[in-house]
Structure 1
Amino acid sequence: MKVIRNINNNVAVCVDDNNHEVIAFGKGIGFKKAPYEIELSQIDRTYYNLDPHYVSLLNELPEDVLEVSYEIVKKGSAYLKVELNRTFWFSLCDHINFAIENCKKGLVLSNPMTNEIRHLYEKEMLLGKWAVKHIDRRLKIRLPQSEEANIAMHFINAKQEVKKNDEKDDFEHFVEDITDIVESEMDIIIDRSGFSYSRFVTHLKYLLKRTNQMSKDFSDNIKMYEDVYQKYPELRKVIEKIKCYIYSELNIEPSKEELLYLMIHINRLCAKEGL
């Protein structure tokens, strides 16, 4: 790998064998004057497609703060058993540096949510306490107690972001599979940029969220479902496949009312395609 610009003694901008720019971290890799070649064994970690804002942070933040923040992220990821977003390290670095600067100026910022965090997020709070002690050990700077909750809050938010991304992946997979069933059974290609498809996706989203609330109780819409089910054999066939798919994926059987709404949306999609 070729170093094309040094950021500091341990961070450099490199170009890999495919001519892709990458930010590389490694002990002493940025010490020599660029350009020069380095072995992959000298690199601890890399970041591709890094936002310029994060690159500027690397130029601004002290190396010891960067390193201790990375140690805290590694510890937190292992302790909480979660694969944190790779850019989380940058936001934590920025916060820790800000806290250190305030500490040096004698500024102590309280966290009004400390008690709530302590009771609701015991593990994250314990991690925050460890982080403050680790910063003291490594940098000889004793941050105020409020920073225990502040650092805990960073990990809480990062975990929630990971959860949101996982849920988004599950939902997109769910929607795409059902869309494929509709296209295959109705012999159409759905315009995924159209308003009708957007409404269809919105309904699937709510259906997925209501998986634990679905009911087979009768309502005024049950008769309408029976009428549509009998009148449109094409819809009947596709809705049966969707029902089987939902049962296999979510282990629940959608109510007739849910299926009625699906049939209405599918009918709109087909009408949009001229069927």
Structure 2
Amino acid sequence: MKITKILNNNAVIVIDDQQEKIAIGAGIAFHKKKNDIVNVHKIEKLFVMKENKKLQQLLNRIPEEHFTISEEVITYAEDYIGTKLNEHIHVALTDHLSFAIERATEGIHLKNKLLHEIKILYKPEFEIGLWAIKHIKEKLSVEMPVDEAAFIALHIHTMKLQGGDLRQTVRHTTIVRDMVQTIKSYLNIEVEEDDISYQRLITHLRFALTRMNHYELHTMDEEMLGMIKKKFPLSYSCATEIAKNLSKVHGVDLPDEELGYITLHIERLRKK
């Protein structure tokens, strides 16, 4: 396995099976130069990457330790969730973390308005984010806010093979936040984020949006829906307010059947 380009001390481009690949490992390029043979025992990751030019550009403008930290987070994430992440994570997360570390070093901390929703909707990914900011503190002595754990969680989620698009994920999470805010304002209530009823509501709203994207809807007969309207008028009225705002602000139309299920969740939360 011959080196064709050294990216940094821990990453090189090699030719393997007549294919250009990126090899990553601690000190893999130490005292090495182009055309040298790689010590295979030092290779921790080896993969083909369509975006290797982007990665090269990125590594030319960020501190090497930022790349190392990012790879450690990726390795931890893949072990934690038990699946490989999309190769784009090596560019996307490295770029994000490097910029975030720079901001934190300068005392600039961005608030994540979707923090509470992300903690519930993407719990495993958020746990990875918490580990990451702790790891960064231990390695670089840079203190990062819990908001950053949520940003990292979104990157991890969207880089899972079934994770989806980051923009779509942020949009859905924003919509869920707006729906919850409508409930709180309409009913004039406060909710605790660790309450099981609240967590069930958040999860249901997310999957409701996902089902609509895939044209999969809950089925609820008219008789059952009529009973729910009659038995829980305030919660159903709140659900219709959610639907009205959702259509107006986000251009998403909820079917009547979905309003019935949302009503049940709102009622449970209201009683709590």
> Which residue type is aligned with residue 47 of structure 2?
Y
Q: Letter of the aligned partner of 1:152 in structure 2?
A: A
Describe the shift of the 1:130–1:120 C-alpha distance in structure 2 as closer, same or farther (beyond 3 A): same
Summarize deviations over 1:224-267 as a string: whole Å, max 9, x none: xxxxxxxxxxxxxxxxxxxxxxxxxxxxxxxxxxxxxxxxxxxx
Code of the residue aligned with 2:42 in structure 1: it is Q
Deviation of 1:106 after TM superposition, in Å, equals: 1.8
Cα distance, 1:152–1:38 mapped onto 2, change above 3 Å: closer
In our comparison, the structure showing a higher alpha carbon Rg is: 1
Q: What is the rounded CA distance, in whole Å, between the counterparts of 1:108 and 1:163 in structure 2? A: 27
SS of corresponding position for 2:46: strand
Deviations 1:153-197 (A, max 9, x none): 2122223x52559xxxxxxxxxxxxxxxxxxxxxxxxxxxxxxxx
In structure 2, how many angstroms separate the alpha carbons of the residues matched to 1:68 and 1:49? 19
1:75 pairs with 2:81: no
The structure 1 segments of at least 4 consecutive aligned residues displaced by more than 6 Å after TM superposition are: none
* 1:108 Cα offset (Å): 1.4
Q: Report the CA distance between 1:54 and its aligned residue.
A: 2.0
Pair 1:43–1:102, CA change in 2 (3 A): same
CA deviations over 1:196-220 (Å, ceiling 9, x no partner): xxxxxxxxxxxx966987xxxxxxx
| Mapping of residues 138-157 of structure 1, within 5 Å | 138-157=139-158
Q: Which runs of 5+ in 1 are unaligned?
A: 166-207, 214-275
Cα deviation for residue 17 of structure 1 reads 4.5
Q: Which amino acid aligns with 2:25?
A: G
Residue number in structure 2 paired with 1:112: 113
Task: Tell me if the contact between 1:85 and 1:162 (Cα under 8 Å) persists in the aligned partners.
Answer: no
The 2-side partners of 1:145 and 1:163 are apart by 22
**CA displacement at 1:132 relative to structure 2:** 0.7
Q: Could you tell me the TM-score, scaled by structure 1's length?
A: 0.55
State the AA in 2 paired with 1:2.
K
2:149 alignment partner, SS class: helix
**RMSD of Structure 2 on Structure 1 (CA):** 2.7
What residue number does 1:43 align with?
A: 43
What letter matches 1:87 in structure 2? Answer: H
Q: How far, CA to CA, are the matches of 1:212 and 1:145 in structure 2?
A: 35
* Gap change, CA 1:145 and 1:83, over 3 Å in 2: same
Q: CA deviation at 1:72?
A: 1.4
The 1-side partners of 2:150 and 2:128 are apart by 9
Determine if the alignment matches structure 1 residue 122 to structure 2 residue 123.
yes
Equivalent pairs, count: 170
C-alpha separation in 1, matches of 2:74 and 2:17: 29
Residues 52-103 of structure 1, C-alpha deviations (whole Å, 9 max, x = no match) = 1122112223222212212212222222233211221321111111101111
User: CA, structure 1 residues 2+140, in 2 after alignment: closer, same or farther (shift >3 Å)?
Assistant: same
SS at match of 2:128: helix
Match of 1:249 in 2: none
Aligned: 1:5 with 2:10: no
| Distance in structure 1 (CA, Å) of the matches to 2:85 and 2:216 | 28
Aligned partner letter, 1:25: I
AA of the residue aligned to 2:85:
L
SS, match of residue 90 in structure 1: helix
Identity %: 33
| Cα distance change of structure 1 residues 43 and 96 upon mapping to structure 2, 3 Å threshold | same
- Check 1:94–1:30 CA distance in 2 against 1; reply closer, same or farther (3 A cut): same
Structure 2 distance, partners of 1:94, 1:83, is 19
Residue identity matched to 2:6: N
Shift in Å, 1:110:
0.8
